[in-house]
Structure formats: C-alpha cells, structure tokens
Amino acid sequence: MRRGLSNLGAATLRQIEELGRMIRFGGRIVMAAGRPPFRWRSFMAAVYDSGLLSVALICAAGLTVGFVLGLQLYNTLVRFGAEDSLGTAVGLSLIRELGPVLTGLLVTGRAGSAITAEIGAMRTGQQLDGLRMMAIDPIHFVVMPRAMAVFFVLPLLSALFVALGIFGAYLMGVEVLGLDGGTYLASLEAAVEFDTDVLQSLVKSVVFGVLLALIATWRGYSCEPHSAGVSRATTSTVVTASIAILLADYLLTALWSL
C-alpha cells in the first residue's frame, strides 16, 4: 500500500519534472529565436519540409472532409427542410473546429514525427554534441528553425484546409445534390463572423502550432540515444501532441464561449 502510493508519487513528480524541463526548453527556443543571426536558410528548408510538403495531404483531407460534411449534413438537414442552411453548418463546423484540429493532427503525423525522428537521430549520432564542440548552440542551429517553421505553417495549412473543405461541400451540395450555389455561399457568409469564428480558428491553429513545435522538438532533443529511443520518441510525439491538441481545443472552445 505504502509502496504503491510512493510509486504513484514518484511517477507524478517525474511527469511534472518532465513538463518543467519541456517548458524551459520552450523558453530556450524563444530566446534563441530572438538572438541573431536568424537561421533563414534552415528556416526556409523547414518551412518547405513541414509546410509545403504537407499541402497535398491537407488539400486531399480538406476536400474529402468537405465532401463528407456536405453529404452527411445534407441528409440530416433535408429531414427538417433546412437544406438551405448547409453553408452555415459546414462553415461553422469547419472554421471553428475541424479545420484547426484536423490540420493539427495531420501535421503532427506528417511533420511532427519527422522532426522528432530527425533531431533524435542527430542526438543518437552525437551530431548535437558535435555542434556544441564547435561552440554552436544546437538549439539555435537545429531546433529553433524547425520549431519556428511548424509554428508558422500551421495557421496557413489550417486556413487551406478550411477553404478546401468549404469548396468540397460546395461541390457535393451544389453540383451533386442540386442545392443553389448562391444560397449555400450566402448562408455561409451570413453565419460566419470574424471575431467569433475566424479569429477563434486562427487562435486555435496558432496555439496548436506552439504545442506541436514544442512537443516534437523536445521529444527529439531529449530522446534516448539509441534506435529504440528514437522510435519511442517519435511515437510519444504523435501521442502527446494529439492529446495536447485535443485538450487545448476543448479548453479554447470553453474559454471562447464564456
């Protein structure tokens, strides 16, 4: 009994310590970003890897989610004779929730895991120690550009997802199911407001970007220096970041509706 309790206590303390180390690591990234020179070359390369190469995935996912939303919501709304509100339903659900959350999860899987594996492999190959030997701060040289890139591209990708989702639902509702295109867009534009919906979407995607950037780089940086450690760190990035994004989404939604 006593032993079980002290095990629980030790495990809790370890988690809290880990959280504290991660937040301090985040502070070091921010400090590094403010310290010249800004690593434009690595930043551009990271934006290319995390952002541009995710565009195809985000477009395909956004379009598909748009199709599904259009079809499902149409079938529900048509029972109440309210199929003219399809634009409202699609727009609000995509902009407020699905856009930022699904983009966050997809980018976690596509780019977050890659960043963890890359930094983890550098740690395993002692390249991070090598940089430090040359008096180059690995956080400034390796971690900061990648973290900044994830933070920077997530709102862009999320907006892309939302736009393609709206377009996908338009294709489904107007071209396939025969709704009026003007009605769809008018009900969309009448229902969506900047300060409650679009701003909420942007804030969410920025927060998710911070969470993912921090978790992915920290897991790679703190990974155990062997191949099993890299694999564990990569898995842990996907799990932790997904949970963090979903939790943050709930908190932000609750705060917004206060």
Please report, as ranges, the residues that interact with other proteins according to CB under 8 A.
Answer: 44-45, 47-48, 51-52, 55, 84, 91, 95, 153, 155-157, 159-160, 162-163, 166, 188-190, 192-194, 197-199, 201-202
Residue 106 Cβ vs other proteins, minimum distance, rounded to whole Å: 15
Nearest distance from C-beta of residue 204 to other proteins, angstroms: 13
Q: What's the gap between Cα 215 and its chain centre?
A: 11
User: Shortest gap between Cβ of 118 and other proteins (angstroms)?
Assistant: 17
| Nearer CB in complex with other proteins: 1/194 | 194
- Burial class from Cβ neighbours inside 10 Å (0-12, 13-18, 19+) for residue 183 reads middle
Burial class (CB in 10 A: 0-12, 13-18, 19+), 52: exposed
Minimum distance of other proteins from residue 180's CB (angstroms): 13
Nearer to other proteins (CB atom), residue 22 or residue 162: 162
Nearest residue (CB) to other proteins, 157 versus 238: 157
CA separation, residue 55 to residues 197, 239, 254 (Å): 23, 22, 30
How far apart (Å, rounded) are the C-alpha atoms in residues 94 and 244?
A: 20
| Residues whose CB is less than 8 angstroms from the CB of residue 241 and which lie 6 or more positions away in sequence, other chains included | 104, 108, 112, 211, 212, 215, 216
C-beta of 190 vs 239, nearer to other proteins: 190
97 or 197: CB nearest other proteins? 197
Distance CA 100, CA 205 (A): 5
Q: How near is the Cβ of 218 to other proteins at its closest, in Å? A: 25
Q: Looking up tokens 């769809």, which residue turns up?
A: 184
Dist. CA 110–CA 104, nearest whole Å: 10
